[in-house]
Structure 1
Amino acid sequence: MTERPTALAKLKVLDLSRVRAGPACCRVLADFGADVIKIEAPAGADPSAGVSGARHGYDMLNLHRNKRALTLNLKDPDGRALFLRMVEDADVVVENFRPDVKDRLGIAYSDLANVNPRIILASISGFGQDGPYAKRAGFDQIAQGMGGLMGVTGNPEEGPMRAGAAVADLSSGLYAALGIMVALQERSVSGQGQWVQSSLLGAQIALMDFQAARYLVDGEVPESSGNDHPYVTPMGVVATKDGHMNLGVGSDSQWRAFCDLIDKPEWGTIEDYATNPARFERRAALWEKLAPIFAEKTTSDWVDALEEAGVPAGPIYMMNEVFADPQVQHLGMAEQVHHPVRGETKLVAQPIKLSRTPASIYVSAPDAGEHSDAILTEVGLSPEEIASLRDSKVI
């Protein structure tokens, strides 16, 4: 077993979340050593059970590694009381219910702060904790559409296109993790907890970054440009002899180096192509000129030649090729852990590298309630009390 990481070892997190955004938030904390307790309803108590996928499936294993598991029925008064008892010595609670659910359950921020003023509640929602859309169910693709991502993604003639990864889900989880870190730092000064909020919609808009600022500052409404960069040319996908690659000519000096490489030095100085605005104005015609040139060599040959010339370029990988790449292997982005059912498995490592207290995957995802007895013993319950709670289906 890999040694448990130490950076957040003193942090206790109660994880009420499910699906992706909340679990992704808690995964960051767990990978850096926090004691993350994944709390789920007992079998039969939650009609939405299974929404997060197969227990031993790839998604659950990747999202819930490094966590302990407890079953607890929050709809039962005894279950709620026990949860609040756990809050007394916890640091963080993470939830991604619809905003009104925690109020109905009696576990809103005010309820938690009454028993522990230092508690930090992180709430992740689809659209925010209040406002006209607060009670709507939040899904990644809906947030991609409403946050502007789909409007600038895809070929213009084909209409909007979703991104191939859960961008809004994951970013809202990461923003929540960042908010938790800020709140913890502030708590070290004030001694008080606070309510951290993120949403899929807000996170997606934030990720639009320069496209959003382009509208807010200059009033321009960005449109989709397919695989081309919105305003730099030639920067995009080009077909090669054996596939496709990304070309990234990001400056006029790189353009001149590129022209020398393809034996067209005159293109680097003529008025039609010498500057990016000129190239952008003639983008379609320029790509037509470049297409037959790139078709003469393989992707690998082009990437090597362009690298030597100082022009950014790279292959376009399928996922098996991603993890076969030597730089990806050097970064350690696939980390091995043993699972009692699946055996030796590899999961996606944290991309954040710390020199002294790095993250690690030290234990596989738990089964539902796997650590219930141990966790409740730590809370102070006797074996008889735990057995009684189990008999009454509170746990």
Structure 2
Amino acid sequence: MSVLKCRTTLRSAAGPPQRKSVYSSTYISRTGLRAYSIPPKSDASVDERPLAGIKVVDLTRVLAGPLATMMLSDLGADVIKIESPKHGDDTRSWLPPSAPLPSTTENYPRPDLPPESAYFLQANRNKRSLTLNLKSNKGREVIHRLIEQADVLVENYVPGKLEKFGLGYGTVRKLNPRLVYCSITGYGSSGPYAQAPGYDVVIEAEAGLMHITGEKGGKPVKVGVAVTDVLTGHYAQSGILAALLKRGITGKGSRVECSLFESQIASLVNIGSNYLIAGQEASRWGTSHPSIVPYQVFPTGDSYIMLSAGNDTQWAILCSPAVFDKQEWVDDVRFARNSGRVENREVLVRLIEGVLGEKSTAEWCERLKGKG
């Protein structure tokens, strides 16, 4: 369950106000708003955090948007998450795993409702929740009141969708000229793919990340977490903070746009510049690096170890008596400099594998401790 502090009466556009509590935990289930009282935390006051007093209307779901607004809440912002009355955020149903249901109903008045998914909880802490039907007049009235009092609005709808509800940037900036309005999309607000929904794994494939991920000569694979969503969430938070700083100078709000596609392209960093500057197309290297040797996972006597020598000094340390005890490798013209090690990669990797196989991973970690 999502735990947070609440000092106001939360309402559902389809029902009566919930009971007011000085401190309460509130969260959305598929059937509506749930609330129960909890004691206040003993940690530092929210009022001491850098975004204390900043109000955020969160119209996002899944990961990129919720992660951005959660980071704002971690900095002290008051985030109100708006969800569909029918099913809430999609990730609520992404289970198992889920948080265990309490053994007692003392502070949990609706034990008949489903558990909260771990996926949902990891991106929605410190938020207040509210179900609103944005298609109804009452729902739009409520959201307009919230926007009038807000500092930030974050949304991740397909471009043009919120305009149908009277929530596009051109409309809400008239309600609140100081509002920072952040849009998170799949492919941006213009261009041939603007109306297409964005999915992390699809954009990993389209924007190049999957092409460079996987074993050499093997098939493309996705990263183990939804890294495109995570990166976009961080870019969104950074843009929002910059816009708030600008508002402190000009007194006016502004619009921030982030897309999954552009965030993924930006994350290619040196891989992208290798192509733009030198025409070098990237390929899959597994855990290896195209420009550094050694830099990969090696087998040891009992498992595996990730080894990296980012420069010639570190290489000399690896070959020292305290670690590999292979001074002859440093003196070998094939391996003395990184460019030579890259050129003679296969030979050197076989030599290193032979040495590392003589001891366990724990023994090598002990030898390497403090050497880098």
In the other structure, the counterpart of 1:305 is 367
SS of 2:284's partner is: coil
> 1:18·1:52 contact (CA, 8 Å) conserved in 2?
no
SS of 2:291's partner is: coil
Deviations 1:171-199 (A, max 9, x none): 10110000000000000011111110111
Deviations 1:82-138 (A, max 9, x none): 211211110001111111211222211111101000111111111111111111111
Q: Report 1:30-69 matches (<5 A).
A: 30-43=73-86, 53=94, 56-69=116-129
- Taking the aligned partners of 2:199 and 2:93, their CA distance within structure 1 comes to 13
Q: Report 1:176-325 matches (<5 A).
A: 176-260=236-320, 261-308=323-370, 310-311=371-372
Cα RMSD (Å): 1.6
Shift of 1:52: 5.8
Shift of 1:50: 5.8
Deviations 1:145-195 (A, max 9, x none): 122111111112112111101100011011000000000000001111111
- Taking the aligned partners of 2:204 and 2:224, their CA distance within structure 1 comes to 11
In the other structure, the counterpart of 2:4 is none
- Taking the aligned partners of 1:43 and 1:146, their CA distance within structure 2 comes to 32
Q: 1:52 to 1:215 in 2, by over 3 A?
A: farther
Which amino acid in the other structure matches residue 277 of structure 1?
S
In the other structure, the counterpart of 2:55 is 12
SS of 1:156's partner is: coil
Shift of 1:2: 4.3
> 1:24·1:63 contact (CA, 8 Å) conserved in 2?
yes
Shift of 1:78: 2.3
> 2:93·2:117 contact (CA, 8 Å) conserved in 1?
no
Shift of 1:279: 0.6
Q: 1:252 to 1:49 in 2, by over 3 A?
A: closer
Which amino acid in the other structure matches residue 72 of structure 2?
L
Ranked by relative contact order (alpha carbons within 8 Å, sequence separation 6 or more), the top structure is 1
1:82 aligns with 2:142: yes
SS of 1:236's partner is: strand
Shift of 1:51: 6.4
> 2:298·2:353 contact (CA, 8 Å) conserved in 1?
yes
1:112 aligns with 2:153: no
> 1:19·1:52 contact (CA, 8 Å) conserved in 2?
no
- Taking the aligned partners of 1:52 and 1:117, their CA distance within structure 2 comes to 37
In the other structure, the counterpart of 2:213 is 153
SS of 1:246's partner is: strand
Which amino acid in the other structure matches residue 15 of structure 1?
D
- Taking the aligned partners of 1:2 and 1:19, their CA distance within structure 2 comes to 30
> 2:92·2:116 contact (CA, 8 Å) conserved in 1?
no
TM-score (norm 1): 0.75
Gaps of 5+ in 1: 312-395
SS of 1:157's partner is: coil
In the other structure, the counterpart of 1:373 is none
Q: 1:266 to 1:50 in 2, by over 3 A?
A: closer
In the other structure, the counterpart of 2:154 is 94
In the other structure, the counterpart of 1:21 is 64
> 1:122·1:197 contact (CA, 8 Å) conserved in 2?
yes
In the other structure, the counterpart of 1:317 is none
SS of 1:237's partner is: strand
Q: Percent identity?
A: 38
Deviations 1:11-35 (A, max 9, x none): 0000010011100000101111110
Which amino acid in the other structure matches residue 83 of structure 2?
E
> 1:40·1:71 contact (CA, 8 Å) conserved in 2?
yes
Which amino acid in the other structure matches residue 343 of structure 2?
E
- Taking the aligned partners of 1:56 and 1:274, their CA distance within structure 2 comes to 56
Shift of 1:43: 3.0
Deviations 1:237-281 (A, max 9, x none): 011112111101111111122112322211102111111111101
Q: 1:229 to 1:197 in 2, by over 3 A?
A: same
SS of 2:217's partner is: helix
Q: Paired residues, what number?
A: 308
Gaps of 5+ in 2: 1-40, 96-114
> 2:52·2:75 contact (CA, 8 Å) conserved in 1?
yes
Which amino acid in the other structure matches residue 340 of structure 2?
A
> 2:212·2:284 contact (CA, 8 Å) conserved in 1?
yes
Which amino acid in the other structure matches residue 208 of structure 2?
G
- Taking the aligned partners of 1:255 and 1:85, their CA distance within structure 2 comes to 62
Which amino acid in the other structure matches residue 361 of structure 2?
T
- What stretches of structure 1 move > 6 A for 4+ residues in a row? none
Looking at secondary structure, tell me which structure has more helix per residue. 1
TM-score (norm 2): 0.79
Which amino acid in the other structure matches residue 190 of structure 1?
T
